[in-house]
Structure 1
Amino acid sequence: MDYDFSNKVVLVTGASSGIGESTALLFAKLGAKLSLVGRNEANLRAVAAECEKQKGVKPLAIVADLGTDEGIQKTAKETLAHFKRLDVLVNNAAIGARTSILHETDMKIFDDVFRIDVRGVYLLTKLLAPALIETKGNIINVSSIAGTVVAVGSLPYGMAKAALDHFTRLVSLELAPKGVRVNTVSPGLTITNFLKNIIHCSDDEYKQWLDIAKKNVPMGDPCVGEDIARMIVHIASEHSRLVTGTNVEVDGGLRFNNLSNTLVTHVK
């Protein structure tokens, strides 16, 4: 199956590492003109440089905090000013949180997670929807199986991802008559720094944790960033031209298992 994005402008948020980095690199290999957004400038510049090596197309790198209105507005404004159009929006930027039970949860954690994982996606999509309507483009929201699998210790993050899933369904219905598709990709256990940073452990401890955690994956392997990137590209392509309002779970069957709280809390 061939994919060609050589005439497409693709915006990937959270592109400086993990799933966002893998997604940016795959789109670059397929010839896309990229707008890449991240908070870590050094990492973002490094990813942009690797993307440029694929087809010689230089990405636009935007250093911005999508937890702020200023960062979101900067992202939308600079992307459209540079490319004059947008074909694909990948809302990948997110933060996770390890939390205790309800009455012990710090409300700052709740606010931080919802500000980036939900409000940031809402506002950026709102600002860029007119450009996507013009190109009959599409949106992919990167969620998590934590939005549907319930576990103690995953309250704000799981709620935020559930909200994102419903946002996808609602916006897909609004934009379908205008020719814009909106879908969700929900990773399961995925080997990225996102997960490692939430657990706050050493490299050795993280490896040991992964060895235990992956035994809960029915297909035997955790995801890597490229697994999620390939699904994002497929949904963004013309091969999925009538797919909208859908949540595609890429998790090796993990969501069906009887999981420990630790595992479910920290998957993305």
Structure 2
Amino acid sequence: MSFNDKVVIVTGSSSGIGAAIAIEFSSLGAKVCLVGRNKEKLDEVGKKCNNPLVLVADITQDKDAQRIVSETVRYFGKLDILINNAGMGGSASIVAENALEVYDKVMNTNLRSVVHLTHLAAPHIIKTKGNIINISSVCALRVLLTNGFAYNTSKAGLDHFTRSVAAELASQGVRVNAVNPGPVQTDILENTGANEAQQKYVFEKMKQSTALNRISDPSEIADLVIFLASDKARAITGSIYVSDNGTLIKTAH
């Protein structure tokens, strides 16, 4: 599978799923724009890619979103694929004092920023008849997190946004799909300040929540993204692809 001369933006590519996606695209010949807020981590990922464009940016800031698209097109001359991977968690009870504060922050990151970046990138992707892939979550399809109403809602909204834009852009040769991971071994818990023991406990609970009793490596999600972005998936648009080790079919014993 080759992505020679294809130009790809991957948001949230400083670690985890985004980093794995960017590295795999680059290994297959793509020209990659790495986007994230942590310069040190971005630079480390950049070392594993072939001459990437590295942009330190916050996707929730409108000027940064504009810069991501304009700099990519200026640097590489076009844009073929947009991977909307950047996102965040957020826990709050609906009756908590900070419920709306958490909701606004999560929705701004997980949904509004995706809408904005897609709005900015779509004209360029229409020109190349490329495609867009949004990284969602199994939490869009089933309530798995206590006090996770904001996150769950943001990802459910992202799935329907995916279908909506897919329907609109299909006539112009652009495909739009979503990938919905279950538990994946990333630094997401570490980034919340959890210590090693806490991380081990949570990941073990996550593993037990899956039918296959395992947690995915980020490269497994990257493999699915690569497939959907390739010509092998040329008939697929408006689809929601779950890769969750059987989290959604796990039954109580």
| Residue in 1 that maps onto 2:236 | 243
Letter in 2 for 1:66: I
What stretches of structure 1 of length at least 5 have no aligned partner? 53-57, 260-268
| Residue in 1 that maps onto 2:160 | 166
Q: Are 1:155 and 2:149 matched, yes or no?
A: yes
| Residue in 1 that maps onto 2:8 | 10
Please identify, of 159-168 and 76-85, the stretch whose mean Cα deviation from structure 2 is larger.
Answer: 76-85
Q: Are 1:207 and 2:200 matched, yes or no?
A: yes
TM (normalized to structure 2)? 0.95
Cα 1:39/1:234, change in 2 over 3 Å: same
Cα 1:247/1:33, change in 2 over 3 Å: same
Deviation at 1:207, TM superposition (A): 1.4
Cα 1:257/1:197, change in 2 over 3 Å: farther
State the aligned residue count: 250
Taking only the aligned residue pairs, the percentage that are identical comes to: 39
Deviation at 1:105, TM superposition (A): 5.2
Partners of 1:134 and 1:212 lie apart in 2 by: 45
Deviation at 1:258, TM superposition (A): 5.2
Deviations 1:99-154 (A, max 9, x none): 2x211151221111111111100011001101100110000000000111114311
Q: Are 1:67 and 2:60 matched, yes or no?
A: yes
Secondary structure in 2 aligned to 1:244? coil
Q: Are 1:87 and 2:80 matched, yes or no?
A: yes
| Residue in 2 that maps onto 1:233 | 226
| Residue in 1 that maps onto 2:27 | 29
| Residue in 2 that maps onto 1:131 | 124
Structure 1 runs of 4+ aligned residues shifted over 4 Å read none
- Tell me which of 45, 48, 51 is aligned to 2:46: 48
Letter in 2 for 1:128: A
- Tell me which of 212, 228, 234 is aligned to 1:219: 212
Partners of 1:50 and 1:5 lie apart in 2 by: 17
Letter in 2 for 1:104: A
Letter in 2 for 1:203: E
Deviations 1:37-63 (A, max 9, x none): 0000111111111113xxxxx000011
Deviation at 1:208, TM superposition (A): 2.7
Cα 1:132/1:160, change in 2 over 3 Å: same
Secondary structure in 2 aligned to 1:31? coil
Secondary structure in 2 aligned to 1:51? coil
Kindly indicate whether the alpha-carbon contact (under 8 Å) linking 2:91 and 2:102 is maintained by their aligned counterparts in 1: no
TM (normalized to structure 1)? 0.90
